[in-house]
């Protein structure tokens, strides 16, 4: 069981630094098998393929929203938006979006109501984003993050669970209200 560590006054987070064997993925330790969607443009294709393979090897069901072999003319919204819609609809439990920097994938995914996506490059945010903000999609830069780090972050992201404390739920309700208000507003 992961050990809790205090990171701020009256606040505890899970410390996922339990010693794992090289062949023991974190998600397997937590007994988690999930339906995960992946998508990338040409800048994230290689990392997406790597992560999809690791996810399948770990027993996850993976839905690949594209792109296939990279083409310079492909655009990340063409692949990230269908993934984000699947996350919002619950067709997949979590999503992984990859573009060259990860920024475009994150911006694009967050345009879909019900998606809470973030560009992640370190472990704290990979679990804290889920625990506090119910993050349901993680984004990477295929030209920025190495394969091993991305896999570690995906495992942390998939193993984390929304805490559901009143203050977190209250904040998420405000975000949901924003999505409704902004959708109704005309440009």
Show Cβ contacts of residue 79 under 8 Å, excluding neighbours closer than 6 positions: 39, 40, 41, 65, 66, 67, 97
Concatenating the DSSP letter of every residue in 127-160 gives: HHHHHHH---EEEEETTTS-HHHHHHHHHHHHH-
Exactly one of 99, 108, 118, 139 is catalytic; which is it?
99
Where in 34-86 does DSSP place strands (E)? Answer: 35-40, 61-64
Q: Which residue has the tokens 């809470």?
A: 116
Q: Is 99 a catalytic residue?
A: yes
**Contact status, residue 157 vs residue 118, Cβ threshold 8 Å:** no
Catalytic residue numbers read 99
């Amino acid at each position: 069981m992961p050990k809790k560590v205090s990171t701020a006054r009256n606040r505890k987070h899970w410390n996922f630094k339990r010693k794992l064997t090289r062949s023991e993925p974190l998600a397997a330790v937590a007994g988690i098998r999930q339906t995960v969607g992946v998508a990338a443009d040409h800048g994230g294709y290689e990392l997406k393929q790597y992560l999809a393979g690791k996810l399948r090897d770990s027993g996850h069901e993976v839905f690949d929203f594209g792109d296939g072999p990279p083409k310079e003319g492909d655009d990340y919204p063409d692949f990230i938006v269908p993934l984000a819609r699947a996350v919002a609809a619950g067709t997949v439990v979590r999503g992984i979006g990859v573009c060259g920097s990860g920024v475009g994938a994150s911006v694009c995914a967050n345009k879909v109501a019900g998606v809470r996506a973030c560009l992640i490059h370190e472990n704290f945010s990979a679990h804290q984003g889920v625990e506090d903000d119910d993050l349901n999609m993680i984004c990477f830069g295929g030209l920025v993050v190495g394969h091993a780090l991305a896999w570690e972050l995906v495992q942390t992201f998939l193993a984390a669970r929304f805490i559901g404390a009143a203050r977190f739920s209250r904040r998420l309700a405000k975000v949901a209200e924003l999505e409704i208000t902004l959708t109704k507003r005309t440009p």
